[in-house]
Structure 1
Amino acid sequence: MQKKTELVWKPGVKTEMYRTPVFSVNEVKSLSPHGETKTFTALSAPEWVIVIPRITDSSGKQYFLMVTQWRHGSARLSVEFPGGVVDEGESPEHAAHRELLEETGKKAQRLTLLGEVYPNPAIMENKSHIYFADCELDTQAQHLDEDEFLEAEAVPIDEILQKMGEPPYDHALMCTALFFYLRHIKAIEKNASQY
């Protein structure tokens, strides 16, 4: 069995090959564990945030605020938790508050960082920060970007749990976010049962 240190590559020169408004394509030369230089492609993009917003109605029923929008990669509508790009100079937490308000018109009463993941570490350098937010019931107007067309709606949590992973709930990062939420809820329930 190999030692883990024998699996480590040494990144070398990184050259930007192409820049888009969303990401840059880079050529990366790395030294293999056997001392050979190989060339790979990596994408540089800003950090992302995903917010899992929960609201509770007067009867105690809980909902997630979801947004439906067109995705050009899959060429179809996708139902997702709100989120977006962390702007330059902005903290992920601030971006989470901003994206939640922009896309749903809701403010978080409390925002909790659930975890951070690399969306696709094989080719992408950025991280996605996943937050949970209990939201106020009051709603403000959406403030969408110029090329952003989406609809926000409250969906019962049970419905999301049943449908996640199937179209139109098949965005992989939303499945990951839901996993972090369920782990968070399980930890809360475990701590409550100890008292």
Structure 2
Amino acid sequence: MNASAAPSRWERLGDKTLTSTRVFDVRSTRFRHPRRDTERDFIIIDSPDWVNVIALTRDQQLVLVRQFRFGTEAFSLEIPGGVIERGEDPLVAGVRELTEETGYTGQPARLLGSVHPNPALQTNRCHFVLVEDATCTHPLDWDEDEEIEVVTMPVEKVLKLAHAGGVTHALALNALLLFEPVWRGTRSPRA
């Protein structure tokens, strides 16, 4: 095969749902390579978009959650976040998730950026929202399968923890990576 040839977009031939859960669907999707005429089935996870929130209080603290995660069977230090409802704006979803998980509200809500969590397997995007002037105003409204401790920490301490491996959730690290230059005043968030 010629390594200098431009890559080709595989043609999607069809798919079938293997299983549906309340969080995502798993499907087998058949693709064909246009030049090699190779066909293969690939497993795809079809999930709604997600939102993660960097919530900054007036006294320069970040609102964090320490949450039990079933995949690692351990607590994980993260930022608040969750599933975006069908048709919901990521900014609205971010404010909603922040309030539900932590009791905090704030304004303005601005988009820091978006990523594909794992484009090899997943169809969704994760949007990162910055909410400033966050204050605790509401009772918590957790899902019945959530186990969360809400904590606040100075921004610099959180950034040091992230750089030292104290934050291991990849999407929380993505959000902090996008937030850090905004915090340092070297970049403006996307509005």
* TM-score (ref. length: structure 1): 0.87
Change (3 A) 1:69 1:138: closer
Give yes or no for contact 1:83–1:99 (8 Å, CA) kept in 2.
yes
Give yes or no for contact 2:56–2:134 (8 Å, CA) kept in 1.
no
Change (3 A) 1:184 1:10: farther
| Gap runs ≥5 in structure 1 | none
Matching residue of 1:54: 56
Give how far 1:7 is off: 3.3
Change (3 A) 1:165 1:136: closer
Matching residue of 1:127: 125
Does residue 37 in structure 1 map to residue 39 in structure 2?
yes
Change (3 A) 1:75 1:168: farther
Matching residue of 1:182: 180
Give how far 1:16 is off: 0.6
SS in 1 for 2:143: coil
Partner of residue 111 from structure 2, selected from 110, 113, 116: 113
Change (3 A) 1:32 1:21: same
Matching residue of 2:90: 92
SS in 1 for 2:159: helix
Give how far 1:133 is off: 0.8
Give yes or no for contact 1:80–1:171 (8 Å, CA) kept in 2.
yes
Superposed CA deviations along residues 8-61 of structure 1, whole A, max 9, x for unmatched, are 21222021111111111110111124221111101001110000001122xxxx
Aligned partners of 1:73 and 1:138: how far apart in 2? 29
Give yes or no for contact 1:165–1:172 (8 Å, CA) kept in 2.
no
| Gap runs ≥5 in structure 2 | none
Give how far 1:140 is off: 1.9
Aligned partners of 2:187 and 2:166: how far apart in 1? 32
Aligned partners of 2:27 and 2:68: how far apart in 1? 27
Matching residue of 2:14: 13
The count of corresponding residues between Structure 1 and Structure 2 is: 185
| Structure 1 counterpart of 2:146, one-letter code | E
Report the more deviating stretch, 91-100 or 133-142: 133-142
Matching residue of 1:23: 24
Report the more deviating stretch, 62-71 or 163-172: 163-172
Aligned partners of 1:168 and 1:189: how far apart in 2? 24
Give how far 1:189 is off: 3.6
Query: What percent of counterpart residues are identical?
Result: 32
| Structure 1 counterpart of 2:131, one-letter code | A
Aligned partners of 2:163 and 2:42: how far apart in 1? 31
Give yes or no for contact 1:48–1:128 (8 Å, CA) kept in 2.
yes
Give yes or no for contact 2:53–2:128 (8 Å, CA) kept in 1.
yes
* TM-score (ref. length: structure 2): 0.89
